Amino acid sequence: MTPAVSTEWIQNLPKVELHCHLIGTVRATTFAELARRAQLELPDDPERIFADINSLPPDPALYRDTVIPVPQERSPDEPKVSYSLFQASAWVIQTLRDADDLTRIVYEAFEDAHRQSNVRHLELFFDDVPEHLSALGYRGSVEAYADGIRMAERDFGMTGRLIKGIDRSKSGEEALLRVREVVDNPNEYVVGIGLDNLETAGPPERFADAYRLAGDAGLKRTAHSSEHAPTAQNTITCLDVLGCDRIDHGYYVLEDPEVIARVRDEQVVFTVGSTTSRRSWRPWRRASIRAMLDAGLSVVPCSDDPGMFPTTLTSEYTILNEQIGATREQLGQMAVRAAEASWLPDAERAALRDDVASAVAALDEKDQ
């Protein structure tokens, strides 16, 4: 059995968060306040809705005979009334009214990451501008987000960047328009794009032109892959066709030994989350991450949608140790690897990496 790492050590571990969706960070209390202001009619109290988020998995027939068995039944901790992550996110978006709201939720995301998990650097996915905020436009929305990061950098000594989410449920032409918007309106905080939404809704090859434009413009690229579609091939497409710098999730690379060997040899970084809104899939997620570690893959933990699951990056590191069996040495390596995989400029990334490595070494020395 892997020795348990102390709560204090995990809390004090300097962390880097690379895979976190802005709307999924919104506090239940903030949602409640904004919903009251907007007079939004909800089926329950906002804090109850967040507590009962439980997205039901897709057709179980898709997941028979996978390398790591996918649960076919509901889990015992599922609430009587479930709210999907997408529905909860849509309600939160409806309550946002102006640039100040956008700045606020970004700032609170950084504050929570700093206070709850000792996060030094945070990269946030942001979505398309909702129709009711169209007066802000892309440029105005991004500047509002950037204001939140600047405030957090000032108050918490953190760094942060933004990733434009590309909704794979939409067309390749729509994705190209969204990337063109990013390219034509450069902002120092927007450093890359990331394909998100349900993987089964849009194969990665659909977005080749959008990703080519992003690469030509010097933007970093990632994609949610091998998460919902039980195939390793999508990850190969993301690497070879989309030119991804890292992969979000990636559990189904375990379906193909040749893909496992390749991503291990190339040290492809996978941002993995032990917690998901699909509660019945949590044991499968954790078993998959264990298998990825056993295969020598480069995984780093993420919180994904921490306000809505709920979880924290500290909780994800704790689960890695207590339930998945990652050692203290592995946890420290993950923290350093996450810094190395960040999308800061080279000099800042190197400084972050050295800072995290030094802090890990100091923690280990103190704990001896």
Q: Is 294 exposed, middle or buried (0-12, 13-18, 19+ CB in 10 A)?
A: exposed
Question: Which two tokens mark 65?
Answer: 């005979």
Domain residue ranges of the chain, discontinuous segments joined by +: 13-60+81-367
Q: Which of 156, 147, 73 is nearest to 114 (CA)?
A: 156
Give Dmax (Cα) for the chain: 57
Question: pTM of the prediction?
Answer: 0.96
Q: Give me the percent of the chain exceeding a pLDDT of 90.
A: 92
Residue 58: predicted pLDDT: 77
Q: How far apart are CA 257 and CA 232, in angstroms?
A: 9
Residue 365: predicted pLDDT: 83
SS3 319: helix
Residue 366: predicted pLDDT: 77
Per the CB < 8 A criterion, the answer to whether 172 and 206 are in contact is: yes
In this structure, which amino acid lies at residue 16?
V
pLDDT band at 1 (very low <50, low <70, confident <90, very high): low
- CATH fold for the domain made of 13-60+81-367: TIM Barrel (3.20.20)
Residue 60: predicted pLDDT: 81
Q: What's the rounded mean pLDDT across residues 107-124?
A: 98
